[in-house]
Structure 1
Amino acid sequence: MSETKDCDLLVVGGGINGAGIARDAAGRGLSVVLCEQHDLAAHTSSSSSKLIHGGLRYLEYYEFGLVRKALQERELLLRAAPHIIWPMRFVMPHRPHLRPAWLIRTGLFLYDHLARRELLPGSESITMARHPAGAPLDASIKRGFVYSDGWVDDARLVVLNAMDAAERGAAILPRTRLEGARRDGDRWLARLRRADDGAEITVRARGLVNAAGPWAGSLLEHQLRRPAANRVRLVKGSHIVTRRLFDHDHAYILQNPDKRIVFVIPYERDFTLIGTTDVEYEGDPAQVGISAAETDYLCRAVNANFRQQISPADVVWSYAGVRPLLEQEGASASAVTRDYQLELDAPAGAAPLLNIFGGKITTYRKLAEEATDRMAAALGVAGSAAAQGRTGSGVAIGQAAAADAPAGASVAARSGWTATAPLPGGDLPGADFGAFLARLRRDHPWLPERMALRLAHSYGSRVTRVLGDARCLDDLGAEISPGLREAELRHLTAEEWARTADDILWRRSKLGLHATPASKAALEDWLARHLSSQPPSPMPAPQPA
């Protein structure tokens, strides 16, 4: 079985950068295919510290441009997805032997003022004895500092970008591996293979984007057989999760003698998330895992600051991811830049290739905008107007300017559009999640409080697509795993590309923290029965939005 499809842009990689580029490009009128060898957000993009932040510690490395860009994006993202991104206050206990108070105050002043800030309060000094955040800390810590950043459900951010891209005409293909690609004049001829049925798909693309993250270098070498001007440096970051260490809603940023920092963050109400590490990594990024030494390091960081002491025996879950960072000669793993580099390979008369190196989740939207700008220019596409709003713009642009497009091309707008466009479910009135949650509880009083909160955070204004016409809990079907009912499972498999228990328990949600071996087996059984009645469908033809 084989299929052949034509498109403007083939994006390889279903992490945050690939999904963001697919969304931006599809919204401008380009026809897009995105392929990902595993599940969406299966690796680096679901293994972050789950923060939308400027990167306070990068100021010590004089990366003012990166911090400013990230702070600007923080503001935009808080507005675009208030259901999965929300403000959080961070407490930094003051340790005079690690950093003097004047240095911290200077850094926080810059952090408050490097970019326009409308949604978040500024920084302040606190006395631990008079602040709730002081109670869990060691008695030797007398003062500290508080500042603002944001929290994000990282894996859902990827899925929402992919959903928006699909709704704008992109073909999203998880579990579809790029076997190889070669230039054929002004086209890339790419061979894809689906994991579920082994079917081969040939894609004829006018341009190709390598957004494979930790695999970017390997993809260039093996699948594309192309040299790269930049090298990717793989750095492992690991996290542990324990039972809740404190009762308030602030997070902590802990200083360490090695000049690294560790975040201690309220997580899923009952837990605390602790991370991250920076360790050089060699090997298959799909097989990465936390080491005993990393677990010990994170426990020691907590124990040096908190009254309650923890050990590896207190860890209920851990995860690790590989960050694909730009190689910098002589820089330590913690000092290497988190900024990104776009490398365009566009020989005259040949199909362009754009390689994505580095980046961080906070700046993904800006990266996607710049990447789409560069590919649109390389493809020679032009439009008469910029895309406006969430619907209709791509069609109008494509119809109005079709006569100006190169043969076989759809038409893209000149400029980006995502800075003011909400992500699916993010169009909450006034970006007010609290008011939205109160309305959901009022309209569905039969929903348990925790379930209502989780569904509101996961789906935002689209929560009715899960709830449907349900008037009681039983209308949502059987509870297959704690907190997870059949109506939501049907939605996740039909609309969000979920296929396995891990997809659902760890990426579409974090309900794996509450699942048991028996409930996970029940979920796997439900999926096997449900999906067996839905044979793989042919790849949708990518369409201009």
Structure 2
Amino acid sequence: MTEAFPLYDLAVIGGGVNGCGIARDAAGRGAKVLLLEASDLASGTSSKSTKLIHGGLRYLEHYEFALVRESLSERERLLAIAPHIAWPMRFVLPHVPGLRPRWLVRAGLFLYDHIGGRKRLAGTDSIDLTAHPAGAPLKPEFRKAFVYSDCWVDDARLVVLNARDAADRGAEVRTRCAVTRLARDGEHWRIEAGGETFAARAVVNAAGPAVLDVLEAGHVRPDRAMRLVRGSHIVVRKLFDHPFAYFFQLPDGRIFFAIPYERDFTLIGTTDVDHDGGPVEASAEEIAYLCEGASRFFRRVVSPDDVVWTYSGVRPLIDDGSGRPEAATRGYELDLSEPDEGATLLTVYGGKITTYRHLAQEAVELLGERLVALRGDGWTADAALPGGDFAVDGAADLEARFAKSFPFLADAAHRLVRAYGTTAFAIFEGAASMADCGRDFGHGLTEREVRHLAAREWARSADDVLWRRSKLGLRFSPAQARALDEFMQEEFSG
């Protein structure tokens, strides 16, 4: 009988961006929500993106106009609710003779500028690379380019902040709590996870690449075929000093980005390779492909020996029969079970990080047809994520104010404000010196911050802190990482 187990209105399976977004929206409408994640929040696909909020300029070539329009309309909404972890970025698209003609690229950019309701972001310009700062790192044969706008986002922090806001609104968030059994029990679902049993009136399957595994656990036959596509990225020491990013076209028809990353690095990606199982990591071929692509454009040759870090994620795409993986749709579909099937199940197929908020709102509105606990209309378009309650262009002023309030943390002020926004002041409230922040783990990471991450952001290991809550893993030595992990295991493993 379900009465013996904790009963929730909604159980969300999957602690990626879609699952956390749905949990946040539903909790904000009054539902009793349980969020279950098998590992750490954003430990899969949602922390392995190209870190962009964008419409997907190349999707126009595949005639996905509705997806591009929806994505572009979300850009400025996300800037407004998360100005600490998202900000505008200008992208340089060099003209490559023999590939897409200039008129076609310009027409695509004109459409890109106008179909999404752009207000804050600058429009497209043509530039002379021989005179523009973005031309200096490039080979001299690239003389003309377009510059257009999109946005950067800290993808893993976007996930965590959605989970934090969901919890602040009453949701229960369980990490490292894998679902091992899922079964309908009358009007409820019985869920076994992490050695416990829960009951829920409805379940959302937002497990990303594991979406079909969850359906199998619940003895539900999928009505969509999925295509798992691996996208890999490489990080090298910075190739340029200006703030512009690059959008490059290759002779095989693919594109890739080179983006300023964590102040001292350049992020290059991504690949699109069908993933048939095995380790989710960049192959030697993918690394070589990205290095060779970068070397086509930059004066400085990029080789695999220059790579300081790689990461790879598996994108759970709807299999639409596309021949090449990069042509598979990045759209999403929501499948709501029929009323006569018993307890409600909503399955999320596909999706991309840019559209997560809209997807979550649509999902909750579908569930509202079945769950009386869900009250009110969509609210997430205007509600700031934790720490994001300041002006879109106010991060620099906030950083200066933080550095003045905590001068002993001035060297870390940029990172702290970009991670926590206004919450950074609460984390260090009352601290007058580094001695008040506890142990110093290096590179501006203090015990006070680590304790905040454990208490408020579900961090339990050095990897959680160094690669998802921050990217300090790029700077920490192996010995420093071990010391942090030992501290966390001693303090928070219970």
Q: TM-score range by the shorter chain?
A: over 0.9
> Secondary structure of the residue that 1:240 maps to in structure 2?
strand
Cross-structure match for 1:277: 271
- The residue type paired with residue 197 of structure 2 is T
- The residue type paired with residue 190 of structure 1 is I
Cross-structure match for 2:383: 421
Cross-structure match for 1:355: 347
Cross-structure match for 1:303: 295
Identity of aligned residues (%): 53
Cross-structure match for 2:24: 23
Q: Indicate yes or no: 2:181 matched with 1:180.
A: yes
- State the 1:478 CA deviation: 2.0
| Equivalent position to 1:313, from 294, 299, 305 | 305
Residues in 1 aligned to 2:296 and 2:205: alpha-carbon distance in whole angstroms: 42
CA-to-partner distance for each residue in 1:377-419, whole Å, 9 max, x for gaps? 122x2xxxxxxxxxxxxxxxxxxxxxxxxxxxxx222421101
CA contact (8 A) 2:316 2:349 kept: yes
Residues in 2 aligned to 1:30 and 1:81: alpha-carbon distance in whole angstroms: 24
CA contact (8 A) 1:344 1:353 kept: yes
- State the 1:446 CA deviation: 2.6
Q: Indicate yes or no: 2:98 matched with 1:104.
A: no
CA-to-partner distance for each residue in 1:451-476, whole Å, 9 max, x for gaps? 00000001001002321211122221
> Secondary structure of the residue that 2:6 maps to in structure 1?
strand
Matches within 5 A, 1:22-101: 22-101=23-102
Cross-structure match for 2:479: 518
- The residue type paired with residue 353 of structure 1 is L
Q: Tell me, which stretches of 5 or more residues in structure 1 are unaligned?
A: 194-199, 382-410, 536-545
Residues in 1 aligned to 2:201 and 2:214: alpha-carbon distance in whole angstroms: 18
The farther-off stretch of 72-81 and 464-473 is 464-473
Query: What's the Cα RMSD here?
Result: 1.2
Distance 1:52 1:430, change over 3 A: closer
Cross-structure match for 1:294: 286
Q: Indicate yes or no: 2:208 matched with 1:213.
A: yes
CA contact (8 A) 1:346 1:378 kept: no
Cross-structure match for 1:372: 364
CA-to-partner distance for each residue in 1:285-313, whole Å, 9 max, x for gaps? xx300000000110111011110001000
Cross-structure match for 1:454: 415
> Secondary structure of the residue that 1:520 maps to in structure 2?
helix
State the TM-score, normalizing by the size of structure 2: 0.98
Cross-structure match for 1:324: 316
Q: Indicate yes or no: 2:223 matched with 1:229.
A: yes
The farther-off stretch of 69-78 and 471-480 is 471-480
> Secondary structure of the residue that 2:130 maps to in structure 1?
helix
- State the 1:330 CA deviation: 3.6
- The residue type paired with residue 212 of structure 2 is G
Residues in 1 aligned to 2:426 and 2:402: alpha-carbon distance in whole angstroms: 13
| Equivalent position to 1:488, from 437, 440, 449 | 449
> Secondary structure of the residue that 2:460 maps to in structure 1?
coil
Matches within 5 A, 1:166-205: 166-193=167-194, 200-205=195-200
Residues in 1 aligned to 2:183 and 2:213: alpha-carbon distance in whole angstroms: 15
CA contact (8 A) 2:83 2:392 kept: no
> Secondary structure of the residue that 1:40 maps to in structure 2?
coil
Q: Indicate yes or no: 2:494 matched with 1:499.
A: no
CA contact (8 A) 2:7 2:200 kept: yes
- The residue type paired with residue 177 of structure 1 is A
Give the ranges of 4+ consecutive aligned residues of structure 1 lying more than 3 Å apart after TM superposition.
none
- The residue type paired with residue 208 of structure 1 is V
> Secondary structure of the residue that 1:309 maps to in structure 2?
coil
CA-to-partner distance for each residue in 1:477-497, whole Å, 9 max, x for gaps? 221233211000110011100
Residues in 2 aligned to 1:88 and 1:132: alpha-carbon distance in whole angstroms: 15
> Secondary structure of the residue that 1:490 maps to in structure 2?
helix
- State the 1:116 CA deviation: 1.2
Distance 1:339 1:45, change over 3 A: same
Cross-structure match for 1:538: none
> Secondary structure of the residue that 2:92 maps to in structure 1?
strand
> Secondary structure of the residue that 1:448 maps to in structure 2?
helix
Distance 1:296 1:190, change over 3 A: same
- State the 1:231 CA deviation: 1.3
CA-to-partner distance for each residue in 1:21-47, whole Å, 9 max, x for gaps? 000000000110010100000010000
CA contact (8 A) 1:482 1:519 kept: no
Residues in 1 aligned to 2:192 and 2:438: alpha-carbon distance in whole angstroms: 41
Residues in 2 aligned to 1:465 and 1:282: alpha-carbon distance in whole angstroms: 45
Q: Tell me, which stretches of 5 or more residues in structure 2 are unaligned?
A: none
Residues in 2 aligned to 1:204 and 1:332: alpha-carbon distance in whole angstroms: 42
> Secondary structure of the residue that 1:120 maps to in structure 2?
coil
Residues in 1 aligned to 2:378 and 2:198: alpha-carbon distance in whole angstroms: 26
Residues in 2 aligned to 1:191 and 1:447: alpha-carbon distance in whole angstroms: 44
Q: Indicate yes or no: 2:256 matched with 1:255.
A: no
Residues in 2 aligned to 1:182 and 1:464: alpha-carbon distance in whole angstroms: 45
CA-to-partner distance for each residue in 1:18-73, whole Å, 9 max, x for gaps? 00000000000011001010000001000000000010110111111000000000
Cross-structure match for 2:261: 267
| Equivalent position to 1:239, from 233, 256, 270 | 233
- The residue type paired with residue 244 of structure 2 is H
CA contact (8 A) 2:402 2:425 kept: no
| Equivalent position to 1:473, from 434, 438, 449 | 434
CA-to-partner distance for each residue in 1:186-212, whole Å, 9 max, x for gaps? 11111111xxxxxx2211100000000
Residues in 1 aligned to 2:439 and 2:44: alpha-carbon distance in whole angstroms: 30
- The residue type paired with residue 23 of structure 1 is R
State the TM-score, normalizing by the size of structure 1: 0.89
CA contact (8 A) 2:17 2:46 kept: yes
